[in-house]
A and B are shown apart, each in its own frame.
Chain A
Amino acid sequence: MIPMQRTVIFGATSAIAQEVARQLVVRGGALYCIGRNSAKLDALLADLRVRAGSGQVIGGEEADLNDLTRHESLLLSAEKALGGLDALLVAQGSLSDQKSCEVSPDLTVREFNTNALSAISILTLAANKMEAQKAGVLAAISSVAGDRGRQSNYVYGAAKGALTIFMEGLRNRLTKVGVSVVTIKPGFVDTPMTASFDKNGVLWSNPEIIARGIVIAMEKGSGEVYLPGFWRFIMLVIRHIPSRMFNKMSL
């Protein structure tokens, strides 16, 4: 078990991150939450303060994480507010509109920026910090969509795939110094991000269940986790469909 007393969450107002924050608070953790929307961030911080015990630090600030130049100062203010850093969770993301991306290279690059580059930038900075202190947990929410490019969402999938591979490399580098790098790969989750989806079927999960899995994975320092776990098998099958067959399917 890795103690995660002081955690910073990037993209904290996402439905999944909000549940992670709540679960960390009731375990006694100190939290620093960063989100883009100030009203949502204030609402989240108020909620966490109601749940927190007296003396438990709950802080945060507003930031657009697509502005990569701010990442360094955000990390510094989090560390300062918390008095150190044990864990970091990168949770920002946007579910790209594939059809619009196909006709707009600009949008495609922007989506790549939100889902991959902003996360990679934060992780790069944090990795050096954790490497120096020889302890800590770096976690990021990737996606099962990053396991194989599919016609329905390969822009989002490619960005998440890049993030997954980046973290794999980071893990390879940092495991020896005692830093865990945790890649979270959720399947379908019923959140505002997927509001326009038809949620019929047994594959859908809710943010509380995913958040529980994330907290456990971060505490254990697991490498890559699929949430819920059955996605490991689904993706195993999907990854192994031969290309000739795969290209005829409309996934």
Chain B
Amino acid sequence: MKTHLMLAGALSLIATMAAAEDKPVLTVYAPDYFTSEWGPGPAIEKGFEATCDCDLKFVAGDVLPRILLEGDKTSADVAIGLNTDVTAKARATGLFAPHNEDTSDLTMPVKWDDPIFLPFDWSELAFVYDKTKLKNPPTSFQDLLDAPDDAYKIVIEDPRSSVAGLSLLLWVKDIYGDKAEEAWTKIAPKVLTVTPGWSEAYGMFTDGEADMVLSYVTSPAYHIMAEEDDSKAAAIFPEGHYFTPELVAQLKTSKHPELAQKFMDYVLSPDFQGMIATANWSFPAKLPHDQLPEVFQKLPMPDKTLYLGEAEAEKLRGPALEEWQRAFSR
């Protein structure tokens, strides 16, 4: 008994040792994928620490639920990796402070004037397919709806457990409005299955089990750059694609408000923005197109961007979910 208690203690000691230096610690809550070696976290940590004479500490997990649990006693100074689907809830808590950044010259297809939540990258939803296997990909959303039931099998993510899945609900709602439920009944037979999250869905796609997967227009860039495989492509629809930014915000309760503000400045700096494309496989929020890696510059992009603001998305979420559930229960 004694040995295992000691071991457990030693383990937690190792975990906390990193924070034992004297420099001020800036605590940033971030999603899991963000802080892994393969995400943008480590490079951001290194980049910021080089300028701030501080210790940046990521805490990974489900960002907003954790902050809501902790309330005004949260140890987070900054929260990164939030999505627009949660900002209404987050704003209502009054826990977040203005970002104080100039958002007039962001390089995004959507104008951004939120004073609290600052986008650091963005992409657009898209159905990704394998060119060598799927000869007749849908050429429009309507084409996808009207295709025969056995034309292709799509994997989508569940809107109740995944951000991508929820964004798809809003995408369909934005295009089809009152006819969204009808649209879903046409999509449903082509949906092979619904997964809890993006990883499961994308895994089924790369394993060849599904012909198409709900992902992002930037997904093919990963395969081209990291795997030298140009067989993956995003189907581009003239109806427009749904815009999905990732956001960062500082907390009112931060014990290091200057550091937190400094981090917000850093988010829009060329240094930070320059690492987003290949670390997070998405478009940086503020980087001229010609400074992107060549592959990103050449990615086929939709002509039209669709985006429901936070208020509208919050209003439509419940009814859209019910429509979706009804359509799939037939």
Does A pair with B?
no
Chain A residues packing against B (C-beta within 8 Å): none
